[in-house]
Structure 1
Amino acid sequence: MVSAKISIYWKLLRPKTALSTVLAALGGAFYLGLPTGFNYIILLLVVIGVALAHLSINALNDYLDYRSGLDTLTPRTPFSGGSKVLVDKLLDPREALLLSLTLLAIASITGLIITLFRGLLILILAFIGAFIILTYNNLWVKIALGEFMILVKGILVFLGSMYAVHGLIRYDVVLVGVVYGLVSVVILYANFIPDIEADRAIGRRTIPSILGEYAWVGYTLIISTLIALIALLVAMNMLPYTSLLAVVPGMLLFKVASTLKRAKRLEDLVESLRVNTIACRGIDTLITLAIIARALII
């Protein structure tokens, strides 16, 4: 019974998706060099906090999408349309909401602990993050700013982790945070595409739902910006040169764009979403490893 409940929670929370947030936190934590002494404890709290906040988003979005009727309209794929845990009646919606708020509360407590050591800026960043989480589904995604807020989240996690671990922020490296944010946007944007009609039906204004059959154009612009930004940051010495390895999986995204342009069947979309997820995970993993490797050397 307990194992069955854990399995349901696991499906609802989709822990694998939190990796993007954890990688952004690690990138920020190691960008200025290796943490020292007690700062590793701070880093652990940061990772726990951002991971729990991400899981909270997943559960809350499933709850709100179920309440709005969206998840009864979206096609079932491994990458889009929610977990279907609530649609399949595997869990009481109120339990999903309680789980989401509990995780967010624990994440907030980690933020408060870090605030005791680093000051009010951490509390402000945590408040902004919590506000984005709680308003994402009922506000930002309804006014076509959902993707932008995911970009903001990546920047906040990167800079917030940097400040929490090192006690300072270099605002000149905001663009590195933008890279992490864009990777998350690419994943989310592509995953919105199978849900275009369902999103339109309930009044959600995602960029793909606005562009319709030209959603692939928006996707191409985003991935082109991402790859160009990585190259630019390496040229400006704001990312280590080994970060260029991230361009290799990045090239797969152009294949995804081509598939999205031609795809007529859901099966074709699902395969492109799979490649998209793998490529994006390769990009932020390689960039984070490059940042950590540089920290070990200097």
Structure 2
Amino acid sequence: MSLSVWFRVIRVKFLLASVIAVSLGLAVSYWKAQNIDLTSAVITMGGVVALHASVDLLNDYWDYKRGIDTATKRTKFSGGTGVLPEGLLKPSIVYRAGILFLVLGSLAGVYFVALYGWIIAAILGFAIISIYFYSTRIVDSGLGEIFVAIKGCMIVLGTSYIQTQFITATDIAAGIIAGTLSSFVLYITSFPDHDADKQKGRRTLVIVLGKASASKVFWAFPAVTYGFVIGGIASGLFPVFCLLSLASSFFALDAGRKITASINDEKEFLSVMKSTLLFSRITGALFVAGFLVSFVADNYG
């Protein structure tokens, strides 16, 4: 049983969304308080990554049990990991690993609940319940994208609260940006799985809207993201250096230009998914960088 198989089933490249969200929460709190507790930051990162790995493992397990992964065509960005259909791991092992990561992530959360009380408890409770029921209840009700958006926002809020013990409008606005970027990736990667998901009873936003209409909704995600960035800067919630995040617009424009014509062309749609993923990750990373550059400019410029 090779380590590469575990990296594959955990979907390591998608864990970056949570890494960016935690980094954003740390950057915002550092910008606000001019200080950071490194031990808490490491525990937060480890706990959040464990919880993210848990939802991916449990999703792979339930998609295999429901026959979704065997009905989809796997790509670099969609269709599941292929680990269970290929027999590389036993389903029971993947399920137990998912529960183990859920427990490990929860223990990190319990540590902070003991220190900081009910706000962290509420965030942790939401995380545990939604992670466990994500693949069996949430995605069947058409709420998958909303869950991912809330999850991304909660990560930023929780991370910042652990560092500063208060939540501001800056945290909330930054959290909405992180959540929107994460939800965008889930949204775009559900296009190729439309038929299999629908056949097996899953309800993604793409299924609810239909592919043609859903392709037009594409622009809502970068619009919300950039709208909050620009609005946050204009209102003083974010430093002006957060304008760096607009440098990723090329990738959104590239994907948006191709999406309508390629929704039924698997090969062409790979390019759309790749550009969307790059837009999400680069925008998030540059947004984090905006806070760090501002801190350096304010203190050492």
TM range (shorter): over 0.9
Distance 1:105 1:267, change over 3 A: same
Shift of 1:140: 1.7
What residue is the counterpart of 2:293 in the other structure? 293
Higher mean alpha-carbon deviation, 164-173 vs 138-147, is at: 164-173
What residue is the counterpart of 1:11 in the other structure? 8
CA–CA distance in structure 2, aligned partners of residues 80 and 184 of structure 1: 15
List gaps (5 residues or longer) in structure 1: none
TM-score normalized by structure 1? Answer: 0.94
Structure 1 runs (4+) deviating above 3 angstroms are 34-38, 295-298
Q: CA RMSD in A?
A: 1.7
Higher mean alpha-carbon deviation, 96-105 vs 162-171, is at: 162-171
User: What secondary structure does 2:2 align onto?
Assistant: helix
CA–CA distance in structure 2, aligned partners of residues 133 and 231 of structure 1: 32
Judge conservation of contact 1:32–1:295 (CA < 8 Å) in 2. Answer: no
What residue is the counterpart of 1:230 in the other structure? 229
Judge conservation of contact 1:45–1:114 (CA < 8 Å) in 2. Answer: no
What residue is the counterpart of 2:76 in the other structure? 78
CA–CA distance in structure 2, aligned partners of residues 244 and 234 of structure 1: 8
Summarize deviations over 1:11-51 as a string: whole Å, max 9, x none: 10012211111211121123132678882111111000001
User: What secondary structure does 2:191 align onto?
Assistant: helix
Summarize deviations over 1:142-190 as a string: whole Å, max 9, x none: 1111101111001110100011111221246412110000000111111
List gaps (5 residues or longer) in structure 2: none
Report percent identity of matched pairs. 23
The correspondence of residues 11-50 of structure 1 with structure 2, limited to 5 A, is: 11-33=8-30, 39-50=37-48
CA–CA distance in structure 2, aligned partners of residues 250 and 73 of structure 1: 34
CA–CA distance in structure 2, aligned partners of residues 113 and 131 of structure 1: 18
Summarize deviations over 1:193-222 as a string: whole Å, max 9, x none: 111111110111111112222221121222
CA–CA distance in structure 1, aligned partners of residues 280 and 217 of structure 2: 16
- What amino acid is the match of 1:274? K
TM-score normalized by structure 2? Answer: 0.93
User: What secondary structure does 2:89 align onto?
Assistant: coil
What residue is the counterpart of 1:205 in the other structure? 203
User: What secondary structure does 1:78 align onto?
Assistant: coil
The correspondence of residues 115-264 of structure 1 with structure 2, limited to 5 A, is: 115-171=113-169, 173-210=171-208, 211-263=210-262, 264=264
- What amino acid is the match of 2:26? A
Higher mean alpha-carbon deviation, 63-72 vs 224-233, is at: 224-233
Distance 1:293 1:118, change over 3 A: farther
The correspondence of residues 274-289 of structure 1 with structure 2, limited to 5 A, is: 274-289=274-289
- What amino acid is the match of 2:205? I
Distance 1:193 1:157, change over 3 A: same
- What amino acid is the match of 1:224? A
Q: Please, which of 47, 50, 58 is the counterpart of residue 60 of structure 1?
A: 58
Distance 1:40 1:65, change over 3 A: same
- What amino acid is the match of 1:151? A
Shift of 1:251: 3.6
Distance 1:191 1:124, change over 3 A: same
